[in-house]
Amino acid sequence: MKIDFLVQYDLEKYIFDIVRKEYMEKGFLTAYDFFCIIVWKANRSKTRIAKKLLKHSKLDNLDEAVYFLTSGINEIPEPKEKLRHLMKDWNLKLPTATAILTALYPDEFTAYDVRVCDELNDFHKLNNVVNFENIWNGYLEYKHKIVQAAPADLSIRDKDRYLLGKSFSKQLRDGIKNGFGNSKSLQKNR
């Protein structure tokens, strides 16, 4: 595998422009490309996800486990069942499952993210729901609220980016205002 490190510097671009295209052509991902998606969503979770995939698949090889997981997604035509496959068959949590599906199907999915929940002022408890039908219905409502909360002329992927950018901006401004938690700065602001 020849790796273009300059292309990978922008991980999101690599995932949406290259990984997604290869997935559409081949019908599966390599472990390398799959874990690029995991790192893009939450770098801290890569070890936990790897252990979960190996345990679930009863394989000792991540490439094989990822092949079965991603080729399984590819074989399922309905978006709802793709999500069910990841959450119920592979025991992945909503944020991880939707990040994978967003990377592979950005016109159908958006990643469930607590920062977007903060911007929407809702859906924080959706990740704790157990019943899949309730998860799916809540996810559809979450996606609908994203569409409503961002400018109308944006794609669903850009609406997600817009809300993440809004969250980033708000957090940075708040951090600057309070000295990023500096206790002296906090005392002055009280």
Q: What is the pLDDT of residue 173?
A: 93
Residues 67 and 116 occupy one common structural domain: no
Residue-wise pLDDT tens digits, 41-97: 999 999 999 999 999 899 889 999 999 999 999 999 999 999 999 999 999 999 999
Torsion of CA 13, 137, 81, 22, to 10 degrees: -10
Residues 43 and 99 occupy one common structural domain: yes
73: domain range? 1-109
> What distance in Å separates the CA atoms of residue 96 and residue 82, rounded to the nearest whole number?
13
Domain membership of residue 104 (yes or no) is yes
Q: What is the pLDDT of residue 167?
A: 93
Overall average pLDDT of the 6-17 stretch: 90
Number of domains in the chain: 2
> What distance in Å separates the CA atoms of residue 31 and residue 61, rounded to the nearest whole number?
9
Residue-wise pLDDT tens digits, 104-162: 999 999 999 999 999 999 999 999 999 999 999 999 999 999 999 999 999 999 999 99
Tokens read off for 24: 């559409």
> What distance in Å separates the CA atoms of residue 94 and residue 175, rounded to the nearest whole number?
28
pTM summary value: 0.90
Q: What is the pLDDT of residue 1?
A: 64
Domain membership of residue 158 (yes or no) is yes
